[in-house]
Structure 1
Amino acid sequence: MDVLGVLGGMGPLASAEFLKTLYHANLHSREQDMPRVLVDSDPGFPDRTEAVAGGPGAQEIGRRLAVRLEDLLARGADRLVMACFTAHHFLPLVDPLIRERVTSLVDVALDELDRADGRFLLLCTEGTRRARVFQSSPLWDRVAARVALPGEPDQELVHRMVYRMKRHGALGDVAPAVDRLRARYGCSGVILGCTEFHLVSGGLTGVLGEANVVDALRAFARTCTAPYRKDLQHAG
């Protein structure tokens, strides 16, 4: 079985919740057959949105990504995943030989959306939106016509939700607020384009139904029970 290397800490609660999700997805397995996971949770990464906006942190993010990902490979990881969508914008600063071992959460999300029906609202940070992280994926053109982007005031609202969850964890008012936004834009579902939303993925699924919540971390966790899907590997 492949050894999975997870670079987390961006934020730490989201990547910790992902590890829990991954093992919940494997509860049908014997304990001894569950995936081996190496986790490096590093909350010290500079703010990704500020770096996208021209802040001084971009080179430091690239340096940390290279060091942390290379270390996970050296410790025995076969494949890698970064539990932060905005961080994918900085992957071009990393050696291509390391990048090719990273499975893009962006591609996982868009692949899930390609299999779904209806129109979906993209929930992401201002950094991910400004850097066009989703639009840069080779899978974007397949689904672009079915993706709605919040207007400026609502995008600011979504961004504030993310940073509140970074400070306080899952919040009970987030799922109802997301449901109102979804309805406002005439969408049947939502794309959780920031890993912080994974903290409330269960609540959103209860409201909207699993088919209407595109959660890349949940989808990726399911792939750890099956052979590695090369079609979801993306160098960033």
Structure 2
Amino acid sequence: MNKKTIKVGIIGGMGPLASASFAETLYTTYLNKNELKEEYHSPYVYLYSEPLQTQSTALMSVNLSKTELLAKLEKNIAHLVQHEVDCIVICCFTAHALLSQLVPEHQVKIYSLVTKGLEHVLAQNTQFLVLCASSAKEAQVLEHHPLWAKVATHITYVETEVQTQLNRLIKAVKDNQINSQLLDNFLELMGQYPKHHFIIACAELHILHKKLQDYSQTQFANVFDPFFHVTHHIWGEYERA
């Protein structure tokens, strides 16, 4: 049987550790699934990480900065398209607020983490709490998505005080300050909402969620992580002989 191949582009730079971690997640998923190894070659992965002098939180704060970030996204996507990638994952939820402003030929290449998250909510009948950076909330990344009207009653954000705690966790991950105390703090934060399910809407929180798999005995069936979802489901959607 001829194996198939996919070429995946990853755009980083807003949080370099997060994009590198996602590349690891993609390869780990492939290596751990025998059915994938039987049907597919190891994926071609193109990680384009142009470190930004300013984090995306600040870049999204004023119109001029949004224009700057959009220009960088277009340039980086164009670079990956030159390598004939089948799809592109942008490892920053805040940057997803700009997807509708990309040129059409670039939009069709994006594997939207936001779309996958909202599709999951739509398929469930429960309440979800969004775990994200303040920048994603302020940019109304979810609210500007076409599916928002169908899922709005099932989605809430954390309170201001808890959001401040989330921002501290995210900053610590960006600074590579991950330790057992940080993981305990993340577990404690989620433990405040025993009746909710969660959406991981931040690449840095994906890192923490991934590390919790080995650190804690807790089952995380109530957590939807679109970064994991991408690595498990991208194969059938984008492929080449």
The answer to whether the superposition gives a TM-score over 0.5 is yes
8 A Cα contact 2:15 2:55, kept in partner? no
Task: Name the CA distance, whole Å, in 2 between partners of 1:169 and 1:116.
Answer: 35
Q: Are residue 226 (structure 1) and residue 236 (structure 2) matched? A: yes
8 A Cα contact 1:12 1:41, kept in partner? yes
Partner of 2:138: 130
How many residues get paired?
229
TM-score, with structure 1 as normaliser: 0.85
Spell out, residue by residue over 1:143-198, the C-alpha distance to the aligned partner (whole angstroms, 9 max, x if none).
33332311112112211211111002533233432333333344333211110011
Q: Are residue 5 (structure 1) and residue 9 (structure 2) matched? A: yes
| Shift in Å, 1:216 | 0.9
**Gap regions ≥5 residues in structure 1:** 230-236
| Shift in Å, 1:204 | 4.0
| Shift in Å, 1:20 | 0.9
Q: Secondary structure at the match of 2:19?
A: helix
| Shift in Å, 1:135 | 1.8
Q: Are residue 170 (structure 1) and residue 178 (structure 2) matched? A: yes
Spell out, residue by residue over 1:74-133, the C-alpha distance to the aligned partner (whole angstroms, 9 max, x if none).
111121110110011123443222122211111112223344564332111111000110
**Which of these residues, 95, 112, 117, is aligned with residue 104 of structure 1?**
112
Partner of 1:232: none
> Which shifted more, 173-182 or 189-198?
173-182
8 A Cα contact 1:84 1:195, kept in partner? yes
**Which of these residues, 90, 94, 97, is aligned with residue 98 of structure 2?**
90
Task: Name the CA distance, whole Å, in 2 between partners of 1:179 and 1:144.
Answer: 26
Q: Does the C-alpha gap of structure 1 residues 9 and 172 become closer, same or farther in structure 2, counting only changes over 3 Å?
A: farther
Q: Secondary structure at the match of 2:24?
A: helix
Task: Name the CA distance, whole Å, in 1 between partners of 2:136 and 2:145.
Answer: 12
Partner of 1:233: none
> Which shifted more, 212-221 or 50-59?
50-59
Q: Does the C-alpha gap of structure 1 residues 190 and 142 become closer, same or farther in structure 2, counting only changes over 3 Å?
A: same
Task: Name the CA distance, whole Å, in 1 between partners of 2:198 and 2:165.
Answer: 15
Q: Are residue 198 (structure 1) and residue 206 (structure 2) matched? A: yes
| Shift in Å, 1:43 | 1.8
Task: Name the CA distance, whole Å, in 2 between partners of 1:143 and 1:123.
Answer: 16
Spell out, residue by residue over 1:30-70, the C-alpha distance to the aligned partner (whole angstroms, 9 max, x if none).
69712211110122263222132227422221111011001
8 A Cα contact 1:35 1:224, kept in partner? no
Partner of 1:26: 30
Task: Name the CA distance, whole Å, in 2 between partners of 1:170 and 1:139.
Answer: 34
**Gap regions ≥5 residues in structure 2:** none
CA RMSD of aligned residues (A): 2.5
Counterpart residue identity of residue 76, structure 1:
E
| Shift in Å, 1:220 | 0.2
8 A Cα contact 1:148 1:185, kept in partner? no
8 A Cα contact 1:121 1:182, kept in partner? no
Q: Are residue 46 (structure 1) and residue 54 (structure 2) matched? A: yes
**Which of these residues, 89, 96, 107, is aligned with residue 81 of structure 1?**
89
Q: Are residue 16 (structure 1) and residue 26 (structure 2) matched? A: no
Q: Does the C-alpha gap of structure 1 residues 203 and 161 become closer, same or farther in structure 2, counting only changes over 3 Å?
A: same
TM-score, with structure 2 as normaliser: 0.84
Partner of 2:167: 159
Q: Secondary structure at the match of 2:120?
A: helix
